[in-house]
Amino acid sequence: MRQYVAAAAMIVSAVALVSGQAASPPFWAYGFTGPGPEPAPPPCATDSKPLDCARIQAARPKDVIHKLPDTDRTFAEYDIHYDFGPGDWYPGDHPPMPDIVVHGRESDKLRACGLCHYPNGHGRPENASPAGLPAAYILQQLEAFRNGTRKSADPRKANANEMIQIARHLTAAEMQTVAEYYAAITRRPWVRVVETGMVPKARAGVNGLFMPVPGNEMEPLGKRIIEVPENAELTDKMRHPRSGWLAYAPIGSLARGEEIVTKGGGRTVACAVCHGAGLQGMGNVPGIADRPASYIARQLYDIQAGARQSQLMKPVVAKLDEDDIIAIAAYLASK
């Protein structure tokens, strides 16, 4: 504890004279193609009209069987996306799953943890990627969702609201089980960052997952990061848990991000002060390397806006502007 108090004192003094701040939530990080006002969609909204999860699930084919390489398992699309027991392609990639991770709890409408975060815990950019995080940290965050000290700065982020409800219904024993399960998983490379000025045009789909628009149409990236699947079909239809992500970032983001993350860049302090060598975490402080860029960006802004409360991180992010957030998120995702 003493080292964290000392680190906090260093951080407060280091950021006291730094200027700048993000003016509003970076809409791209929350899964939207533009800023609000837009009504918060239900957790399973589509581009055309709102649909509840049960109707989306019911529309998925039950008679078309899918298969992936390096596994003898096969699933219909309906079973791959089943809210209360989604298909697990590679059981050898993770420890035996507890029931709450496999099935959730249908009586309380708690969807399985493995649905959004994948059985291997690596998750997708619109969700968290909890694999390999300290169990104590995961417990802390579940409690923060439950008691209202962690929410989304953009109220349109429907699955953040869903996490609040899940945390409120989980028992203490279930929380502990989930935390220990995901903490025990070893991370694999998950995000590839590409600096560019032009990107494939993408649409925002269910829960803010960006998917490339058919036709290979290109558009300027501008001041944002767009994360899309390395293989859209494998992710969309089959939830392939080994198929990772492409994060398109503005040219120069990685160099600027490295400067801020490793030295503070005149904006804050070096992230390794708390997150350890290689940014892999230290004690109960989480690792932040190779997490989805849009997730990192959301957390930085959520803390800055006070939607996610953190006494230690609040002064760290207080003076970051949107360019800083883009650079930091791109660099951390690239590690």
Per-residue pLDDT of 138-154, as tens digits, reads: 999 999 999 999 999 99
The predicted structure's pLDDT at residue 54 = 66
Give the whole-angstrom CA distance, residue 295 versus residue 221. 18
pLDDT digits (tens, 9 = 90+) for 157-205: 989 999 999 999 999 999 999 999 999 999 999 999 999 999 999 998 7
Instruction: Pinpoint the residues of the chain covered by CATH 1.10.760.10.
Output: 2-37+189-334, 53-183
The predicted structure's pLDDT at residue 205 = 78
The mean pLDDT of 248-270, rounded to a whole number, is 97
pLDDT digits (tens, 9 = 90+) for 9-22: 444 434 433 457 77
Distance from chain centroid for Cα 177: 21
The predicted structure's pLDDT at residue 61 = 83
The predicted structure's pLDDT at residue 37 = 63
**How much is the pTM?**
0.89
| pLDDT, the chain, mean | 89
The yes-or-no verdict on residue 274 having pLDDT over 90 is yes
The mean pLDDT of 237-246, rounded to a whole number, is 96
Tell me which CATH homologous superfamily contains domain 2-37+189-334: Cytochrome c-like domain (1.10.760.10)
The predicted structure's pLDDT at residue 86 = 97
The mean pLDDT of 112-116, rounded to a whole number, is 96
pLDDT digits (tens, 9 = 90+) for 69-104: 999 999 999 999 999 999 999 999 999 999 999 999
Quickly state the pLDDT bin for 35 (edges 50, 70, 90): confident
The predicted structure's pLDDT at residue 52 = 59
**Class in CATH terms, 53-183:** mainly alpha
